[in-house]
Chain A
């Protein structure tokens, strides 16, 4: 598009000795926070059950009908608590992102989805059976008598929406939707959870007016919905308006790969770490409805930032054609693929293909003493050596060793290495003698990354020292 310099000046290392942090101490603190969050998550489930016990639930297991009814109430309370935990995990709350990372938060969110739905379906079914039993009618007829109660039609509707939301998120079903279509359906989960609230407060006896249980429950809702509102909606809008980012230039750095230069105000105050990503939205008529999670390929200066994108997928192809001056809205920075995740003093970085982009930014502000960092760049061919010149210059300026490995993998091999190197007998440990006492940062295509991650695990590297970002676009 525009004539842009293809390389950026490399920032000199500036880490005076007194600023160096103890990586192990920092990791211990982060691990403690992560443990506390896990404990809080499970305890909130137990607390939901305790609400029932606190309202005299322990005495309500006297007859079969009472047992079924009590289990139904418990399932509803715990299931709803899980749903609220899922909202908190998906809310992109900064402390959650800094502690376990956006990826893991979403992974936990996904794992909770099905159990939560089963609990809620169980809640509905058990209560229809239990109430039916005590009234002497079958569960189907009980539906009619339930619907006659205030707030219950809304609750049935909420349940229907929740079933739809979870079904469209099953892997097999989700593939049939575009991301945007799926996401729109997924947003109905907010409506579903909101629809469920009135019947909990009016029909359910556990949360009756004037009880502490009611106060606690409403507080949970406030935290979950407040988190979503603040960090998914308000914060991105405020950040977008504050930093006013626009496209300053688009340059093709290799066939099918573009760097997008962005201009904005006070960009250092974004607090972005090297290796983090933003979710970008380019406001042109053809691109505004797609948002793209893309890592920074250079740390923001006061007034500029840069991302590098490979043209895969219709959405990505279109953003390579956005005109200069296009307004850009941002959500972020997100992700724990950064120096925040460090656990040890030494650093090993391996990146393949377009996966070099976050590595390029990571090397700018990762803390390490000269000689303590090793970088290995991997490409199938010379045309894939994006930003390698910049990375080599950065490594040289900061005293990091930099190796390059070019060439296709051996056919049929699951090795992450180039064929020639694999044949020579190179291993992860021979390439990185200090591996066991280092943090290993990996970024590249999924299949390649799975292979090198398996190697690292086989070499005995503990999970908390492996930081992987799967990068397929």
Chain B
């Protein structure tokens, strides 16, 4: 009886581990392409069209084509009308797209740029996201759209943590705050 239990345990444990490993391999495959995307984005960041991990989540919003540095541009976003109304209230805020600092975490670096139009945050683009491990890529891809929505709603970097993506969240918000500081927002 003991032999049966031992053999059964070995068999079942092996089976479970193999299934887990295979499931992991499936997870790894699509992420290999996702991981490459932030790289491409940073390499061609001058065009700023946001071909980042975030846009791969099909949440890409129309973006203004600007240089990544402090370079005021005309607001061409769909949110422009809303942004215009608040422009008067915050005259000291420069319009444009501002790139935040690169924040290093143990899972890779994070960098975001923020687009300000008419004194309001109209878009946040992730230029780099945590990508050290395939799992981080998955987590980043999940967290980035959530964080973008929260930031747009709150109009600040003062938003809550995305559970399961604590490192990404912290770095994302830190980079965002740096960008907002540049804008004098």
Chain B CB within 8 A of A42 CB: yes
Minimum CB distance partner of A132 in chain B? B106
Instruction: Please give, as numbers and ranges, the residues of chain B lying within 8 Å of A45 by CB-CB distance.
Output: 13
Would you give the shortest CB distance from A147 to chain B, in whole angstroms? 13
Would you give the shortest CB distance from B13 to chain A, in whole angstroms? 3
A/B pair count, beta carbons within 8 Å: 115
Known: A51-B20, A208-B165. A60 touches B9 (CB 8 A): no
Decide if A46 touches B134 in the complex (CB within 8 Å).
no
Chain A CB within 8 A of B139 CB: yes
Instruction: Please give, as numbers and ranges, the residues of chain B lying within 8 Å of A51 by CB-CB distance.
Output: 20
Minimum CB distance partner of B161 in chain A? A150
Considering the chains assembled together, what is the distance between the CA atoms of A52 and B163 in angstroms? 18
Decide if A46 touches B12 in the complex (CB within 8 Å).
yes
Known: A35-B4, A43-B12, A53-B24. A207 touches B31 (CB 8 A): no
Decide if A60 touches B21 in the complex (CB within 8 Å).
no
Chain B CB within 8 A of A112 CB: no
Minimum CB distance partner of B146 in chain A? A209
Chain B CB within 8 A of A460 CB: no
Would you give the shortest CB distance from A29 to chain B, in whole angstroms? 12
Decide if A205 touches B135 in the complex (CB within 8 Å).
yes
Task: Specify which of B16, B132, B136, B161 is in contact with A43 (CB 8 Å cutoff).
Answer: B16
Instruction: Please give, as numbers and ranges, the residues of chain B lying within 8 Å of A23 by CB-CB distance.
Output: none
* Centre residue among B8, B106, B132 by max chain A CB count within 10 A: B106
Chain A CB within 8 A of B150 CB: no
Chain B CB within 8 A of A181 CB: no
Instruction: Please give, as numbers and ranges, the residues of chain B lying within 8 Å of A43 by CB-CB distance.
Output: 9, 12-13, 16
Decide if B161 touches A58 in the complex (CB within 8 Å).
no
Task: Specify which of A36, A41, A60, A65 is in contact with B135 (CB 8 Å cutoff).
Answer: A60
Chain A CB within 8 A of B133 CB: yes
Considering the chains assembled together, what is the distance between the CA atoms of A124 and B8 in angstroms? 32
Chain B CB within 8 A of A203 CB: yes
Instruction: Please give, as numbers and ranges, the residues of chain B lying within 8 Å of A59 by CB-CB distance.
Output: 24, 28, 133-134
0/1 per residue, A184-212, Cβ < 8 Å to B? Answer: 00000000000000000111111111100
Chain B CB within 8 A of A134 CB: yes
Minimum CB distance partner of A73 in chain B? B135
Task: Specify which of A39, A56, A202, A464 is in contact with B134 (CB 8 Å cutoff).
Answer: A56
Known: A38-B5, A47-B16. A60 touches B133 (CB 8 A): yes
Considering the chains assembled together, what is the distance between the CA atoms of A85 and B59 in angstroms? 43
* B contacts with A: majority SS: helix
Minimum CB distance partner of A198 in chain B? B163
Chain A CB within 8 A of B164 CB: yes
Task: Specify which of B27, B31, B170 is in contact with A54 (CB 8 Å cutoff).
Answer: B27
Known: A31-B1, A43-B9. A56 touches B27 (CB 8 A): yes
Would you give the shortest CB distance from A34 to chain B, in whole angstroms? 7
Interface residues on B, range: 20 to 34
Chain A CB within 8 A of B44 CB: no
Would you give the shortest CB distance from A56 to chain B, in whole angstroms? 4
Considering the chains assembled together, what is the distance between the CA atoms of A41 and B138 in angstroms? 31
Chain A CB within 8 A of B88 CB: no
Considering the chains assembled together, what is the distance between the CA atoms of A34 and B133 in angstroms? 41
Minimum CB distance partner of A134 in chain B? B106
Decide if B166 touches A203 in the complex (CB within 8 Å).
yes
Contact residues of B between 17 and 73, Cβ < 8 Å to A: 17, 19-21, 23-25, 27-28, 31
Count of chain A residues with a beta carbon within 8 Å of a chain B beta carbon: 43
Decide if A210 touches B142 in the complex (CB within 8 Å).
yes
Would you give the shortest CB distance from A467 to chain B, in whole angstroms? 16
Would you give the shortest CB distance from B115 to chain A, in whole angstroms? 28
Decide if B16 touches A50 in the complex (CB within 8 Å).
yes
Instruction: Please give, as numbers and ranges, the residues of chain A lying within 8 Å of B8 by CB-CB distance.
Output: 35-36, 38-39
Considering the chains assembled together, what is the distance between the CA atoms of A58 and B134 in angstroms? 10
Chain B CB within 8 A of A135 CB: yes
Chain B CB within 8 A of A131 CB: yes
Minimum CB distance partner of B134 in chain A? A56
Would you give the shortest CB distance from A207 to chain B, in whole angstroms? 7
Considering the chains assembled together, what is the distance between the CA atoms of A34 and B28 in angstroms? 38
Considering the chains assembled together, what is the distance between the CA atoms of A36 and B31 in angstroms? 38
Instruction: Please give, as numbers and ranges, the residues of chain A lying within 8 Å of B142 by CB-CB distance.
Output: 208-210
Would you give the shortest CB distance from A145 to chain B, in whole angstroms? 10
Considering the chains assembled together, what is the distance between the CA atoms of A128 and B143 in angstroms? 24
Instruction: Please give, as numbers and ranges, the residues of chain B lying within 8 Å of A58 by CB-CB distance.
Output: 21, 24-25, 28
Considering the chains assembled together, what is the distance between the CA atoms of A46 and B85 in angstroms? 59
Minimum CB distance partner of B20 in chain A? A50
Decide if A46 touches B13 in the complex (CB within 8 Å).
yes
Known: A39-B8, A50-B17, A202-B163. A55 touches B106 (CB 8 A): no
Chain B CB within 8 A of A66 CB: yes
Chain B CB within 8 A of A229 CB: no
Decide if B13 touches A205 in the complex (CB within 8 Å).
no
Would you give the shortest CB distance from B146 to chain A, in whole angstroms? 10
Would you give the shortest CB distance from B37 to chain A, in whole angstroms? 17
Considering the chains assembled together, what is the distance between the CA atoms of A58 and B28 in angstroms? 9
Chain B CB within 8 A of A399 CB: no
Instruction: Please give, as numbers and ranges, the residues of chain A lying within 8 Å of B132 by CB-CB distance.
Output: 66
Chain B CB within 8 A of A57 CB: yes
Contact residues of A between 410 and 453, Cβ < 8 Å to B: none
Would you give the shortest CB distance from A24 to chain B, in whole angstroms? 13
- Please give 7 more A-B residue pairs, beta carbons under 8 A apart, in addition to A39-B12, A53-B21, A54-B27: A42-B9, A50-B19, A52-B20, A53-B17, A58-B28, A208-B142, A208-B164
Chain B interface (Cβ < 8 Å from any Cβ of A)? 1, 4-5, 8-9, 12-14, 16-17, 19-21, 23-25, 27-28, 31, 106, 132-136, 138-139, 142, 161, 163-166, 170
Q: What 9 A-B pairs come out closest when comparing CB atoms?
A: A50-B20, A46-B13, A208-B164, A42-B9, A54-B23, A53-B20, A56-B134, A35-B5, A134-B106
Query: Can you name 6 A-B residue pairings with CB atoms under 8 Å?
Result: A36-B8, A46-B14, A56-B133, A57-B135, A59-B133, A150-B166
